[in-house]
Amino acid sequence: MLPKICNWIRTRNDETDPDNVYTRWEQDYDLQDQPPMGLFDEYLEMVVQFGFVTIFVAAFPLAPLCALINNIIEIRLDAYKYISQFKRPVAQRAQDIGIWYGILRGISFIAVLTNAFIIGWTSDFVPKLVYQYTGSEDGTLRGYVNHSLSTFDVQDFQEQSIPKDPKVDVFGNVTYCRYSDYRLPPWDENKYKYTAEYWHVFCARLAFIIVFEHVVFFFTWLVNYLIPDVPARVKQLMLREHYLAKEARYDAAFAKKDDNSDDGNTTTDHAAEMV
């Protein structure tokens, strides 16, 4: 709305004067100037949005849908803004989007690693697989909750962590608490140390991250291979255009050589006549 409001303020006096003919070129002249950095802000907005959508998609799976709805609306608003609210820019040829492509590619690599760590470290996907294939008796997740919880003795609470109100019976008859972790119980001599299951899950998470990023990078390469940047038909037309241009150069060179030969023969005949 900002360019439209600015244009309305600049053209208000001209439109309200009945004796002044507000010509088309004057209307175009009163439009907003192009931003000093061109489409930098538009590219930056898309890159930031792409980063949020790809890097944190595992944390908020609806982000791509929100971005799609936003872009469908914004593409029409930007078209209206640049066509009717800004002056026509000076045309500049560009082969591609420049440095923005490298930035988007770097964000894609970061997004793959980030999502791999989010899935591997903040979800129960890997621990459930480890329990299902190594700790379960029947190959199911039965007993997984009890397996994933460790035991804590309430007498081991630090003094500053216990409420001081004497009227409150903090623990009552509770002797032990359960919490989500893989640690030895309080009756073990190495109480609260990591168990072997913890290191099994830790190694499985690292393996999942390595496999996940290799699989994603492989499919990325496969898509790039199956969908080339230049379609096959366009590539054939480019090769044919190159061939025709080369043939035209050869024809021009042969024609020039024939002309030089004809000029040489004419000079020789003229000299013979004079003799």
Hey, what amino acid is at 248? A
Domain count, the chain: 2
Q: Quick check: is 1 in a domain?
A: no
Per-residue DSSP letters for 178-199? EEES-B--TTSTTTT-B-HHHH
Residue 238 in domain: no
Is residue 272 over pLDDT 60?
Answer: no
Q: Are residues 197 and 136 in the same domain?
A: yes
Q: For residue 71, what pLDDT band results from cuts at 50, 70 and 90? A: very high
- Give, in order, the Cα–Cα distances in Å from 153 to each of 146, 157, 182, 186, 235: 16, 8, 15, 6, 72
Q: Which of 183, 202, 226 is the last residue of a domain?
A: 226
pLDDT at 270: 47
Residue 191 belongs to a domain: yes
Q: Answer with the residue of higher pLDDT: 31 or 99.
A: 99
Helix axes 63-80, 40-55, angle to 10 degrees: 170
Considering only CA atoms, give the Rg of the chain: 37
Mean pLDDT of 222-230: 85
**Residue 145's domain spans which residues?**
125-226
